């Protein structure tokens, strides 16, 4: 399937149904189809050929997202660019992807003017909202070009540890992800999906399964959680996605307990580890609708899933021991745990999580060495440490690069973070290893407490020691007012460690 097939499928179920809505204004499926034809014709007229790369630099906006389908109709490849990136990072991405066309909002014009001289392959630049977009568009009649291959999207990996890589995703990858979404979670009737997170990331690709059912996508231009709660009731929202950091903020929002969330069928969470204690609170206060997903840019979204019903046992009680898991591997993927030599490990044994199947990317763009390194032995190596239990549930205990070796023992930072997050005063935390002359590395925790709460570092050390023992418990605990975060809300452990070492 091409990306246009998701739009066209939704249109076949009702062309006049709302497709993309923002600020009370809706574009119907027919209107988005027409816009995609016009964008495709304009791209072709501008010299964009099938297989070329077209980037979109925009905040959450229905017209910008509709352009994705125009890119697909032109046979070109969509390159989402995060508007929160620094100018240098976006320049590197546009250069890495060999982009020949950039579609952007006028608020990014100064940035585009600054980086364009360094991008000789960027031949066409189109602004969405300065009055030039309408005249640029082509005819409104059906048309599409034949693509040169199955590549539909190139996504940039996070550039927090060096120059980012381009993840090449095919139509087959997105089709597999879409099928797994529809298989794994409840969808009753036409969904109404509330997109608060950036459409350049998880919130965007989750639109595709919604569109196959003719659902409505309510787009939020900025991440305001009070507005999120209001829109959920106003539009009778059935599905939404929030990373754990935003769920924590939602739980602290005064409007939560009076919000109308009765229409929710599934509130997805993922993209970072979630505290089991806060997850339990979310289920109790929001309802039995939390659904976890685990994936990577290289294997989008659906390596494993924990559907809302799977958070409960057969007797209907909360399956608390399962809340720390990432669910079960999905039906169209194979997941294994391997040691450093690539040998598969039995249930309960820890090692690197590897995956294979049609969910896995085609490779890194123009980087055969990195592709070969991550694809050795016929498996995609996720870089995550975890284990499968006897019932087949996957548990992620750390990133390989975040594992701490203290006194000869492996200490998994995520395990220590889960323990600290059980303390009622702790809102979020990061655990890192710092150099130590005796132990090699010292387990060090930086915590952020809830507003209005105070807690002594010694109390947190003893709390963690009681849960983990003396080896794994942090030797030092620091309380910071906030933690450094990425553009999608992940805590940046490398930045935490750099600040501590600095």
Higher pLDDT, 69 or 243: 69
Q: Is the pLDDT of residue 267 over 70?
A: yes
pTM listed for this prediction: 0.87
Q: Is the pLDDT of residue 401 over 60?
A: yes
Q: Is the pLDDT of residue 162 over 70?
A: no
Any idea of the CA torsion for 361, 217, 80, 270, to the nearest 10 degrees?
-50
Strand pairing report for 216-219 and 18-22: parallel
Each residue's pLDDT tens digit, 61-74 = 999 999 999 999 99
By the 8 A CB rule, do 60 and 83 touch? no
Q: Is the pLDDT of residue 227 over 50?
A: yes
Residue-averaged pLDDT of the chain: 93
Q: How far is it, in rounded angstroms, from Cα 145 to Cα 41?
A: 9
Q: Specify the pLDDT at position 159.
A: 47
DSSP reduced 3-state for 166:
strand
Q: Specify the pLDDT at position 160.
A: 43
Each residue's pLDDT tens digit, 345-371 = 999 999 999 999 999 999 999 999 999
Q: Specify the pLDDT at position 47.
A: 97
Q: Which residues contact residue 125 at a Cβ distance below 8 angstroms, ignoring those fewer than 6 apart?
A: 101, 102, 104, 112, 116
114-131 burial: b if 16+ Cβ within 10 Å, else e: ebeeebeebebbbbbeee
Any idea of the CA torsion for 249, 250, 253, 257, to the nearest 10 degrees?
-150
**What domains are there in the chain, each with its CATH number?**
27-170 (3.40.50.980), 403-501 (3.30.300.30)
Confidence of residue 385 (pLDDT cuts 50, 70, 90): very high
By the 8 A CB rule, do 329 and 359 touch? no
Each residue's pLDDT tens digit, 171-212 = 999 999 999 999 999 999 999 999 998 888 788 999 999 999
Mean pLDDT of 333-353: 96
Confidence of residue 127 (pLDDT cuts 50, 70, 90): very high
Higher pLDDT, 16 or 163: 16
Distances (CA, A) of 78 to 71, 89, 131: 6, 18, 23
Q: Specify the pLDDT at position 67.
A: 97
Q: Which residues contact residue 163 at a Cβ distance below 8 angstroms, ignoring those fewer than 6 apart?
A: 92, 96
Q: Is the pLDDT of residue 502 over 90?
A: no
By the 8 A CB rule, do 220 and 203 touch? no
Q: What is the DSSP letter of 377?
A: G
Q: Is the pLDDT of residue 399 over 90?
A: no
């Amino acid at each position: 399937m091409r990306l246009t097939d998701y739009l066209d499928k939704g249109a076949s179920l009702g062309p006049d149904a709302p497709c993309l809505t923002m600020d009370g204004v809706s574009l119907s499926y027919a209107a988005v189809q027409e816009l995609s034809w016009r964008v495709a014709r304009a791209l072709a007229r501008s010299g964009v050929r099938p297989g070329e790369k077209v980037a979109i630099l925009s905040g959450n906006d229905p017209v910008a997202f509709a352009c994705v389908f125009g890119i697909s109709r032109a046979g070109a490849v969509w390159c989402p660019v995060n508007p929160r990136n620094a100018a240098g990072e976006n320049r590197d991405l546009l250069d890495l992807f060999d982009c020949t066309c950039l579609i952007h909002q006028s608020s990014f014009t100064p940035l585009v003017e600054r980086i364009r001289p360094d991008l000789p392959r960027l031949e066409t630049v189109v602004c969405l909202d300065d009055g030039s977009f309408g005249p640029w568009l082509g005819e409104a009649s059906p048309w599409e070009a034949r693509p040169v291959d199955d590549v539909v999207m190139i996504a940039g990996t996070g550039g927090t540890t060096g120059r980012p890589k381009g993840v090449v995703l095919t139509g087959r990858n997105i089709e597999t992800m879409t099928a797994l979404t529809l298989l794994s979670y409840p969808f009753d009737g036409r969904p109404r999906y509330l997109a608060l997170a950036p459409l350049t990331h998880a919130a965007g690709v989750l639109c595709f399964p919604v569109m196959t059912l003719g659902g409505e996508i309510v787009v939020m231009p900025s991440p305001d959680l009070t507005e999120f709660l209001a829109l959920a009731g106003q539009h009778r929202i059935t599905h939404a996605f929030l990373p754990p950091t935003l769920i924590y903020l939602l739980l602290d929002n005064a409007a939560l307990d009076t919000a109308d969330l009765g229409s929710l069928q599934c509130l997805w969470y993922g993209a970072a580890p979630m505290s089991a204690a806060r997850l339990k609170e979310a289920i109790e206060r929001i309802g039995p609708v939390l659904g976890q997903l685990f994936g990577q840019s290289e294997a989008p979204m659906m390596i494993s899933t924990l559907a809302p019903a799977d958070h409960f046992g057969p007797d209907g009680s909360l399956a608390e021991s399962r809340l720390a898991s990432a669910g079960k591997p999905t039906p169209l993927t194979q997941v294994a745990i391997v040691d450093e030599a690539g040998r598969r490990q039995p249930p309960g044994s820890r090692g690197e999580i590897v995956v294979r199947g049609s969910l896995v990317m085609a490779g890194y763009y123009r980087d055969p060495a990195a592709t070969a390194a991550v694809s050795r032995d016929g498996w995609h190596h996720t870089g995550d440490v975890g284990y499968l239990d006897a019932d087949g549930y996957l548990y992620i205990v750390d990133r390989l690069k975040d594992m701490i070796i203290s006194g000869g023992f492996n200490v998994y930072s995520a395990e220590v973070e889960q323990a600290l997050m059980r303390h009622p005063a702790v809102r979020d935390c990061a655990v890192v290893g710092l150099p130590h002359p005796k132990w090699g590395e010292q387990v060090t925790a930086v915590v952020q407490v809830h507003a209005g709460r105070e807690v002594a570092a010694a109390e947190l050390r003893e709390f963690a020691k009681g849960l983990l023992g003396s080896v794994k418990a942090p030797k030092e605990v620091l309380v910071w007012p906030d933690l450094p975060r990425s553009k999608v809300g992940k805590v940046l452990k490398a930045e935490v460690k750099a600040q501590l070492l600095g």
